[in-house]
């Protein structure tokens, strides 16, 4: 029997998932795809802390076992090494779908896996399209609620500022970043199609730049680059003139927003981000203040299609989810620096330095 006909035939576990919520066991069972990654692992911590059963699905493309190792041995926690581009059978109440190779370095060098790949990356588009489709198919079969972690990148290089959820964006469909931007736009489309066409309870978050402990050390994102560079006594690499802006959100604020969205009654999309807006030069100054005031700056050419500015309008999330971020950059950065120092120290010790 093929996997597809297995699902369609109604064999397997499909009917169990249709049991009314009130009759199911009271403990929520939750899947987090990408749960061994940066954001996912913090979300898992919160869900486990509040007493949920959590299943992480991750293929460790950009995630690390170390991020979830503290839950090993906990009977409420399960880790499945699995690529979401392949179908999977599970019985859960909620699906947080985060799996996506999110780092710019990964998608710039391996663009095809964000949509469909020939070589190693087969990742970004492929994951965003097939991975999201499979998770939506799963949600449909078992009647689970499905949350998609989309991105502020769907706004592209925005012509509206700050960005509201009603803005349709300004994305170059054939540029270097397109595999990520268009992949997420397609994932949003799929989610809404399953919502309208198959009654799947969908939630969409558009996440703005997020930082915190457990970020990849060398993933090429600006906050992780600057922090690692300052700790290693290397110059901070500012791309272009450094006047482009971003709004940086601490990871625990994001996790609170994701849970509020999942638990609430509104589909979204919702911007989840911190409206504090910084130029990259200002960010470099905050990193210098926090880590090393003698750090220097080195200018490098910027990448193509880099958005000039980005800042979320979060009025919708404030009003409908009763959510807003609490941790400003100057408070959040030191919490991340502690984790980065330890990991860089361990790396150096590993190299015998
Ligand atoms: P991350 O790279 O740390 O985590 C992504 C996780 O997904 C990793 O553990 C990776 O191994 C896993 N993964 C990738 N492809 C997979 C596949 N095919 N099958 C199974 N697992 C797979 O990234 P993150 O920053 O934690 O991002 C989490 C989500 O939030 C992503 O969907 C990302 O697009 C979104 N997001 C993040 C930010 C941010 O600033 N961190 C901003 C906007 C959107
Ligand atoms: N799917 C899955 N797990 C499930 C149910 C479906 O991985 O429990 C996958 C399935 O293999 C398919 C996708 O989700 O590729 C979409 O499923 P759906 O039933 O919506 O579409 P169909 O299989 O009818 O094309
Ligand atoms: N950037 C930078 N130095 C770096 C890495 C990035 O100046 O070492 C810039 C990058 O050009 C962009 C901004 O920082 O303008 C944010 O980049 P990131 O990749 O972190 O996020 P995104 O572009 O996806 O918002």
Q: Check residue 346 and give its pLDDT.
A: 85
Q: Is the backbone of residue 305 left (phi > 0), alpha (psi -120 to 50) or beta?
A: left
Distance (Å) from CA 249 to ligand 1 centroid:
16
Q: What is the DSSP letter of 110?
A: S
CB 273 within 8 A of CB 249: yes
pLDDT at 174: 86
Res 218: pLDDT: 78
Cβ contacts of 58 within 8 Å, gap of 6 or more: 33, 34, 35, 36, 37, 40, 79, 80, 81, 82, 99
Residues within a 6 A CB radius of ligand 3? 104, 209, 221-222, 225, 237-239, 244, 246, 280, 302-303, 306
234-256 residues labelled b (16+ CB within 10 A) or e (exposed): eebbbeeebebbbbbbbbbbbbb
Quote the CA–CA distance of 64 and 57 in Å, as a whole number: 12
d(Cα 140, Cα 215) in Å, to the nearest integer?
32
Rg (CA), the chain: 20
| Nearest alpha-carbon partner for 177 in 157, 161, 196 | 157
Longest dimension (CA), the chain: 66
> What Å distances lie between residue 151 and 2, 186, 252, CA to CA?
34, 12, 17
Q: What is the dihedral of CA 301, 311, 154, 320, to 10 degrees?
A: 160
Average pLDDT value over all residues in the chain:
88
pLDDT at 185: 96
Given the CA of residue 229, which atom of ligand 3 is nearest to it? 8
**Is 140 touching ligand 2 by the criterion CB < 6 Å?**
yes
**CA-nearest residue, atom 3 of ligand 2:** 138
- Determine if ligand 1 sits within 6 Å of the CB of residue 249: no
Catalytic position from the list 96, 107, 155, 180 = 180
Q: What is the pLDDT of residue 169?
A: 96
Q: Which of 38, 212, 239 best tests ligand 3's pocket when mutated (most atoms within 8 Å of CB)?
A: 239
107 is catalytic: no
CA 131 to chain centre: 14
**Per-residue tens of pLDDT for the chain, all 353 residues:** 455 554 444 444 443 445 455 544 568 999 999 999 999 999 999 999 999 999 999 999 889 999 999 999 999 999 999 999 999 999 999 999 999 986 554 445 444 444 433 433 357 788 999 999 999 999 999 999 999 999 999 999 999 999 999 999 999 998 877 888 899 999 999 999 999 999 999 999 999 999 999 998 877 899 999 999 999 999 999 999 999 999 999 999 999 999 999 999 999 999 999 999 999 999 999 999 999 999 999 999 988 888 999 999 999 999 999 999 999 999 999 999 999 999 998 887 766 55
Q: Is 115 helix (H, G, I), strand (E, B) or coil?
A: coil
Residue 115, phi-psi category: left (phi > 0), alpha (psi -120 to 50), beta (remainder): alpha
CA separation (Å) from 8 to 1, 4, 12, 15, 142?
A: 11, 6, 10, 12, 12
Nearest protein CA to atom 1 of ligand 3, as residue: 222
- ipTM of the complex, rounded to two decimals: 0.98
Nearest to 129 by CA among 139, 141, 117, 142: 117
- Alpha carbon distance 119, 82 (integer Å): 19
- Separation CA 329–CA 270 (nearest Å): 21
Encoding tokens for residue 153? 């990148």
Q: Which of 247, 245, 260, 246 is nearest to 324 (CA)?
A: 260
Q: Which residue has the tokens 């922090």?
A: 227
Q: Three-state SS for 302?
A: coil
Whether 134 is in the pocket of ligand 1, judged by its Cβ within 6 Å, is: no
Residue 297: its pLDDT value, please?
Answer: 96
How many other C-beta atoms can be found within 10 angstroms of the C-beta atom of residue 45?
A: 18
């Amino acid at each position: 029997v093929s996997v597809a006909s297995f699902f369609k035939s109604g064999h397997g576990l499909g009917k169990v998932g249709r049991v009314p919520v009130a009759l199911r066991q009271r403990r929520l069972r939750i899947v987090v795809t990408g749960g061994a990654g940066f954001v996912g692992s913090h979300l898992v911590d919160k869900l486990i802390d509040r007493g949920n059963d959590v299943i992480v699905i991750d293929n460790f493309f950009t995630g690390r076992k170390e991020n979830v190792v503290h839950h090993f041995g906990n009977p409420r926690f399960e880790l499945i090494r699995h690529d979401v581009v392949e179908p999977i059978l599970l019985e859960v109440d909620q699906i947080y779908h985060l799996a996506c190779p999110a780092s710019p370095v990964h998608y710039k060098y391996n663009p095809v896996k964000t949509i469909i790949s020939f070589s190693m990356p087969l990742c970004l588009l492929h994951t965003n399209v097939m991975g999201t489709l499979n998770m939506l198919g799963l949600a449909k079969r078992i009647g689970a609620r499905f949350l998609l972690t989309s991105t502020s990148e769907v706004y592209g290089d925005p012509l509206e500022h700050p960005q509201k959820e009603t803005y349709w964006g300004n994305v170059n469909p054939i540029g270097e970043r397109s595999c990520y931007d268009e992949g997420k736009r397609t994932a949003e489309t799929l989610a809404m199609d399953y919502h309208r066409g198959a009654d799947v309870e969908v939630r969409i978050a558009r996440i703005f730049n997020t930082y915190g402990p457990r970020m990849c050390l060398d993933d090429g994102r600006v906050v992780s680059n600057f922090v690692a560079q300052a700790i290693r006594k290397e110059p901070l690499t500012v791309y272009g003139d450094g006047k482009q802006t971003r709004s940086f959100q601490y990871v625990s604020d994001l996790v609170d927003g994701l849970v509020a969205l999942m638990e609430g009654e509104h589909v979204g999309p919702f911007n989840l981000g911190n409206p504090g807006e910084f130029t990259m030069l200002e960010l470099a100054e905050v990193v210098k203040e926090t880590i090393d005031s003698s750090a220097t700056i080195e200018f490098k050419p910027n990448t193509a299609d880099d958005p000039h500015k980005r800042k979320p309008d979060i009025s919708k999330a404030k009003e409908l989810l009763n959510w807003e971020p609490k941790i400003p950059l100057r408070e959040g950065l030191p919490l991340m620096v502690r984790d980065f120092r330890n990991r860089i120290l361990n790396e150096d010790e590993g190299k015998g330095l």
